[in-house]
Amino acid sequence: MPPISYDDSPGTYYEGQIVYPLEDNIIRTGINFDSVILPFGRLACLDETATGDGDRLPIILPDDANAIPRGILAKTDTFEKREGYSLNTDGDMGYPLNYQLAYMVKGTIAVYTDVAVTPNNDVFWIHTAYTGAKVGQFRSDANTDKAVQLTAANWLASGGPGIVPLEVDFLAS
């Protein structure tokens, strides 16, 4: 049996974790068309400047407030954890450049929020990084002009700053 380490999941959930894997989740595939590794649990957006490969949409992180959300990047364990390949300079693991990826369009997935949230709070996605938050992560307000509301999502628990389950339905929006 291979050794197992839980060092990468310090809490109850980890970014990009499918929280209820036996529920009726909808996961789609795409290709990392960004110039960076796409970390798990971040907002997956359509790259409007690229052409897709059949059903595999060209996916990037949000690049501004007008980005087109498609889902949230789901975690996988199908490739090696290696700096510069699947591990970015911030230590976040994700999909390598030009790699096929999976993103959730309907279901419950764990994401990082840089502020405390409750199920009554709105959900916003961050398009401009700032201290304590990275592009594609989530919060409960616009933080002046650095985040955009995501009406296709609801917080399922109170928590944060940290990793909190988020219910999404991009098919309804």
The H or E element that residue 26 is part of is: strand 26-32
Q: Which two three-digit tokens encode residue 167? A: 């219910």
Residues 6+ apart with CB under 8 A from 164: 13, 110, 111, 112, 113, 117, 155, 156, 157, 158
47-94, pLDDT tens digit by residue? 988 765 566 789 999 999 999 999 999 999 888 999 999 999 999 999
117-156, pLDDT tens digit by residue? 999 999 999 999 999 999 999 999 998 899 999 999 999 9
| Residue 135 and residue 42 in contact, taking contact as beta carbons nearer than 8 Å | yes
Task: Kindly state the DSSP code that residue 4 receives in the 8-state scheme.
Answer: -
pTM comes to 0.90
